[in-house]
């Protein structure tokens, strides 16, 4: 070890810290100059290691400059954090060691000087215990700094530290410290006389578990957005008192700390220990803004706009990335142009903590472009599909196969994407450079984070039909992931509903999945759809299937991104390939990708047997029920559907007159999410209450498909829209499987409760939501 330079600047830490203050004029410097300064200071500190005092001052100054940069250039806080991540980490590790050493040395020096005076410490002490009697001097202190917390995290078992984050749950969901156990206890729960037991009942499940084992933690650290002093906030005191005074027989005195400067300061100093989504997506958010977020307004005064949560959008991420590459400058003076060159070599690329981010963002950063020949047939893989698609190629190929309908026989057809050089390849070939990654692929790689989706929907007056469908859609995982992770404002405002239906559904889904309240009123959603269709404007009972069909159609329209550059060559006409190809050129949305299949309708004249064939996309299959008996199976209904029916008054193009004819349907193509509607209502309003037996885990559609695709035809049930009573006076509920919990729940407007899967199959089942098996990343 090198010889340390004698203490020469101060006689205590307090005194030393007076040297840290930055000159005021630094506040006026631009980002690039500041970054340069920070770099200089940091390098200087590293080269002054023998002089601990000087190193300490320089490193602290470095941290101060970084904080200043982040505060001054709020919009770029994440980049600044990214740029300085490694230096900051080094700086803080060094600081904690130097501080320890310096404290001992000052103490030693004081003793030597035979100074009986109590040694000064920078932090307040409690109970008159002298901090130097303990190894870690924060052991007896009631507050700790963010650097101390970092030191704790480095030197204590992380599982022994628990943070009580009192910020609003929105802010918490958005970004939080991820280094150790954290319990979110929004301040509205903190009331006078709060006891540890009372508080327990206010916490959500997973937080409750952590709260119950609070005595096993060595440290419990209370924090909020940015409070410097716990004594200034009564609510924080209530929480501390709950632990110190109202938690007998435990003595939590030694372990409960308050984090000075709160989350804000900590996230500046240790950004890598947080899930930093807020900085990336809410460039203008500040502490006040976050803490003022109105979480759950009363139903009467719901203002969806005001409580919309900002989510990371891919576009904003990309824009941000571009912005970084160009380097942010305030103006374009010559001086800055010069420094720009210099700093561009100094600035490290931002490093984001990807472990906490949905992986789709990784794709965006890495610009994954896998171009594969179509003959990498993945259908075989699908057929005995017991494997999850565990890499992007599999997903990509699967997606291609959904789009392009890979054939086993390569000579029989070619579906081609033409590239710009009009380079027709002799073998089928996909040029994905002109095509964005498909939504389905995007969402399949992401995860739902946040709540559990177990929120009820208030009934606005006969809106149970709507609630039932919304809960089923909110259990469609790829759709939820889309609306939470991928969906952004770049939607089709030219559509019939001007993008508003997608926007409002997105709000509903986000509300169902990301907030902790147990119920939600979706009146803005209802208002919006009411604007576009009178039947939804009023408070009459409606048919949930009709509502679903219209909703999916609107959503598709709102999210439609036609792919005009798609060229279809050689697709078979007979199998519907060509029709599907043409249709998907103009119909390309997450709704189409998830829910739309294709059927063939063959009408033949009973007189001359002339045939007319049309291919039709469908978003759900409407199956008739056998007229006899009270029991049947779903397979019976499917067979009946495909059997064909007689129609009269068909205009035969050959006979050139009205004829009796037979209409036969064939399913050519099935979507990843298959919606089956049981036609319980006759046109006269009569309802069939037959008990239709339908499989929950193994619906095998291979006997009912006439298409050429070879893939996994097995589906499992994840949602049921139920109807009880008659058409007019009936009531709608939903059974939904929440896969993250692997449990079935009944959603009855505002009421949500767990149910046994044995009751799912009932005579009330009206619409069945099936998902292709092994479609989801986290199934099984
Ligand atoms: Zn005819």
Tens of pLDDT, residues 351-398 = 333 343 333 332 232 222 222 222 222 333 333 333 333 333 333 333
* 426-432-437 Cα angle (round to 5): 150
Q: Say whether both 102 and 131 belong to one domain.
A: no
Q: Say whether both 147 and 257 belong to one domain.
A: yes
Task: Select the more confidently predicted residue: 322 or 746.
Answer: 746
| 665 located within any domain | no
Q: Say whether both 114 and 172 belong to one domain.
A: no
How many A from CA of 696 to the centre of ligand 1? 44
Give the range with max mean pLDDT: 427-431, 535-539, 586-590.
Answer: 586-590
CB 699 within 8 A of CB 770: yes
How many A from CA of 617 to the centre of ligand 1? 26
| 763 located within any domain | no
Which two tokens mark 736? Answer: 């939904």
Question: What's the pLDDT score for residue 86?
Answer: 65
How many A from CA of 656 to the centre of ligand 1? 7
How many A from CA of 155 to the centre of ligand 1? 87
Which two tokens mark 203? Answer: 């916490």
Ranges 71-80, 350-359, 720-729: which has the least confidence: 350-359
* Burial (CB count <10 Å: 0-12, 13-18, 19+), residue 646: exposed
Q: How many CB atoms lie within 10 A of CB 461?
A: 11
* Distance of alpha carbon 172 from alpha carbon 447, whole angstroms: 18
For the chain, helix, strand, coil in percent to 5 are: 40, 15, 40
| 226 located within any domain | yes
Q: CA end-to-end span of the chain, whole Å?
A: 56
Q: Say whether both 146 and 13 belong to one domain.
A: no
DSSP string, 401-458: HHHH---SSTTT-------TT----SS----GGGSPPPHHHHHHT----S--S--EE-
| 53 located within any domain | yes
pLDDT in tens, 512-558: 888 777 778 888 899 999 999 988 888 788 889 999 999 999 999 99
CB 59 within 8 A of CB 45: yes
Question: What's the pLDDT score for residue 432?
Answer: 32
- Only one residue has tokens 């509300």, namely 511
How many A from CA of 614 to the centre of ligand 1? 17
Boundaries of domain holding 43: 1-121
How many A from CA of 663 to the centre of ligand 1? 13
731 is catalytic: yes
Look at residue 184 and tell me whether its pLDDT is greater than 90.
yes
How many A from CA of 153 to the centre of ligand 1? 82
545 is catalytic: no
* Distance of alpha carbon 686 from alpha carbon 335, whole angstroms: 81
Q: Say whether both 228 and 135 belong to one domain.
A: yes
Among residues 464, 605, 637, 736, which one is catalytic?
464
CB 483 within 8 A of CB 778: no
Which two tokens mark 90? Answer: 């080094």
Q: What long-range pairs does 262-266 form, CB within 8 A, spacing at least 24? A: 262/223, 262/224, 262/225, 262/226, 262/227, 263/165, 263/167, 263/175, 263/176, 263/177, 263/223, 263/224, 263/225, 263/226, 264/225, 264/226, 265/67, 265/146, 265/226, 266/146, 266/149, 266/150, 266/177, 266/223
* Distance of alpha carbon 237 from alpha carbon 259, whole angstroms: 13
CB 113 within 8 A of CB 81: no
| 369 located within any domain | no
Mean pLDDT to the nearest integer, 250-262: 83
DSSP string, 94-137: HHHHHHHHHHHHHHHHHHHTT--SPPP-SS--STT--GGGSSSG
Q: Which of 293, 310, 327 is the last residue of a domain?
A: 310
Q: Say whether both 139 and 237 belong to one domain.
A: yes
Q: Which of 310, 337, 361 is the last residue of a domain?
A: 310
Question: What's the pLDDT score for residue 489?
Answer: 54
* Distance of alpha carbon 156 from alpha carbon 778, whole angstroms: 34
Question: What's the pLDDT score for residue 227?
Answer: 79
CATH code of the domain covering residue 272: 3.40.250.10
Task: Select the more confidently predicted residue: 432 or 194.
Answer: 194
| 756 located within any domain | no
Q: Say whether both 135 and 206 belong to one domain.
A: yes
Band (pLDDT 50/70/90 cuts) for residue 622 is: very high
pLDDT > 90: percent of the chain: 24
Q: Say whether both 276 and 142 belong to one domain.
A: yes
* φ, ψ (nearest 5 deg) of residue 188: -65, -15
Beta carbons within 8 Å of 767's beta carbon, 6+ residues apart: 469, 472, 544, 545, 548, 620, 675, 676, 677, 678, 720, 721
For residue 645, the SS3 value is strand
Band (pLDDT 50/70/90 cuts) for residue 736 is: very high
* φ, ψ (nearest 5 deg) of residue 186: -55, 145
* Burial (CB count <10 Å: 0-12, 13-18, 19+), residue 42: buried
Residues in the chain: 780
CATH code of the domain covering residue 110: 1.20.58
Q: Say whether both 44 and 166 belong to one domain.
A: no
* 52-55-60 Cα angle (round to 5): 125
For residue 537, the SS3 value is coil
How many A from CA of 664 to the centre of ligand 1? 16
DSSP string, 550-617: HHHHHHHHHT----TT----S--TTTTHHHHHHHHHH--SHHHHHH-EEEEEEEEETTT--EEEEEEE
How many A from CA of 606 to the centre of ligand 1? 7
Question: What's the pLDDT score for residue 570?
Answer: 73
The total domain count for the chain is: 2
How many A from CA of 657 to the centre of ligand 1? 8
Q: Residue 42: CA atoms inside 13 Å, Cβ hemisphere, count?
A: 21
The radius of gyration of the chain from alpha carbons, rounded to an integer in Å, stands at: 32
Ranges 54-68, 258-272, 455-469, 682-696: which has the least confidence: 258-272
How many A from CA of 639 to the centre of ligand 1? 26
Q: Say whether both 225 and 162 belong to one domain.
A: yes
Mean pLDDT to the nearest integer, 19-38: 79
Q: Which of 310, 328, 344 is the last residue of a domain?
A: 310
| 142 located within any domain | yes
Q: Say whether both 24 and 103 belong to one domain.
A: yes
Write down the mean pLDDT value for the chain: 73
Band (pLDDT 50/70/90 cuts) for residue 4 is: confident
Mean pLDDT to the nearest integer, 659-678: 94
Ranges 179-183, 273-277, 680-684: which has the least confidence: 273-277
Task: Select the more confidently predicted residue: 689 or 405.
Answer: 689
* 217-274-32 Cα angle (round to 5): 145
Q: Say whether both 75 and 154 belong to one domain.
A: no
| 509 located within any domain | no
């Amino acid at each position: 070890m090198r010889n340390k330079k004698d203490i020469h600047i101060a006689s205590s830490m307090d005194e030393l810290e007076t040297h840290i203050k930055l000159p005021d004029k630094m506040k006026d410097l631009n980002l690039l100059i500041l970054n340069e300064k920070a770099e200089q200071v940091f390098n200087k500190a590293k080269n002054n290691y023998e002089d601990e005092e000087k190193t300490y001052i320089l490193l602290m100054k470095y941290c101060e400059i970084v904080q200043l940069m982040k505060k001054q250039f709020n919009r770029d806080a994440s980049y600044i954090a990214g740029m300085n991540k490694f230096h900051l980490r080094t700086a803080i590790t060094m600081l904690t060691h130097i501080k320890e050493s310096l404290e001992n040395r000052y103490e030693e020096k004081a003793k030597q000087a035979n100074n009986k005076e109590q040694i000064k410490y920078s932090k307040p002490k409690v109970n008159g215990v002298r901090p130097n009697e303990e190894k870690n001097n924060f052991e007896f202190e009631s507050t700790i700094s963010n650097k101390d917390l970092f030191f704790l995290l480095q030197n204590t078992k992380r599982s022994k530290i628990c943070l009580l984050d009192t910020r609003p749950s929105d802010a918490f969901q958005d970004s939080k410290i991820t280094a150790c156990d954290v319990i979110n206890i929004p301040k509205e729960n903190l009331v006078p006389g709060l006891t540890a037991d009372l508080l327990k009942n206010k916490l959500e499940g997973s937080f409750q578990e952590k709260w119950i084992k609070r005595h096993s933690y060595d440290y419990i650290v209370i924090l909020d957005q940015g409070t410097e002093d716990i004594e200034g906030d009564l609510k924080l005191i209530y929480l501390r008192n709950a632990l110190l005074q109202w938690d007998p027989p435990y003595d939590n005195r030694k372990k409960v700390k308050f984090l000075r400067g709160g989350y804000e300061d900590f996230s500046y100093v240790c950004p890598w220990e947080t899930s930093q989504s807020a900085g990336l997506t809410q460039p203008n958010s500040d502490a006040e803004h976050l803490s003022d977020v109105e979480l759950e307004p009363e139903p009467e005064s719901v203002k969806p706009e005001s409580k919309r949560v900002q989510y990371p959008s891919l576009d904003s991420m990309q824009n941000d990335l571009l912005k970084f590459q160009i380097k942010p400058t305030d103006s374009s003076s010559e001086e800055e142009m010069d420094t720009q060159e210099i700093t561009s070599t100094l600035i490290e690329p931002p490093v984001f903590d990807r472990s906490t981010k949905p992986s789709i963002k990784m794709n965006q950063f890495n610009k994954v472009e896998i171009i594969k020949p179509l003959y990498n047939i993945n259908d075989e893989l699908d057929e005995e599909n017991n494997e999850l698609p565990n890499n992007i190629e599999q997903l990509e190929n699967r997606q291609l196969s959904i789009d392009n309908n890979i054939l086993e026989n390569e000579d029989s057809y070619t579906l081609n994407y033409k590239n710009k050089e009009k380079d027709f390849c002799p073998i089928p070939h996909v040029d994905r450079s002109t095509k964005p990654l498909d939504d389905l692929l995007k969402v399949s790689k992401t995860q739902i984070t946040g709540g559990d989706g177990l929120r009820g929907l208030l009934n606005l007056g006969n809106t149970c039909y709507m609630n039932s469908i919304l809960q089923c859609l909110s259990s469609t995982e790829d759709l939820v992931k889309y609306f939470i992770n991928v969906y952004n404002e770049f939607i089709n405002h030219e559509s019939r509903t001007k993008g508003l239906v997608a926007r409002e559904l997105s709000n509903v889904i986000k509300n169902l999945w990301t907030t902790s309240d147990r119920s939600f009123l979706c009146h803005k959603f209802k208002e919006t759809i009411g604007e576009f269709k009178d039947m939804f404007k009023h408070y009459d009972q409606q048919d949930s299937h009709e509502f679903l069909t219209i909703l999916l159609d609107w959503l598709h329209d709102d999210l439609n991104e036609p792919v005009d550059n798609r060229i279809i060559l050689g697709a078979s006409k007979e199998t519907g390939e060509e029709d599907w190809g043409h249709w998907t050129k103009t119909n390309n949305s997450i709704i189409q990708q998830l829910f739309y299949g294709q059927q063939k309708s063959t009408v033949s004249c009973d007189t001359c047997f002339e045939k007319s064939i049309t291919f039709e996309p469908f978003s759900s299959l409407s199956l008739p029920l056998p007229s006899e008996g009270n029991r049947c199976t779903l397979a019976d209904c499917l067979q009946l559907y495909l059997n064909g029916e007689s129609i009269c008054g068909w205009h035969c193009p050959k006979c050139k007159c009205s004829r009796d004819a037979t209409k036969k349907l064939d399913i050519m193509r099935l979507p990843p999410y298959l919606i089956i509607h049981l036609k319980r209502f006759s046109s006269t309003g009569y309802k069939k209450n037959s008990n239709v037996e339908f499989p929950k885990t193994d619906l095998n559609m291979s006997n009912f498909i006439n298409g050429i695709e070879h893939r996994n035809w097995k589906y499992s049930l994840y949602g049921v829209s139920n109807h009880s009573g008659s058409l007019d006076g009936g009531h709608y509920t939903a059974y939904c499987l929440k896969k993250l919990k692997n449990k079935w729940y009944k959603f009855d407007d505002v009421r949500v409760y767990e149910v046994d899967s044995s009751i799912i199959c009932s005579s009330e089942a009206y619409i069945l939501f099936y998902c292709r098996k092994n479609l989801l990343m986290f199934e099984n």
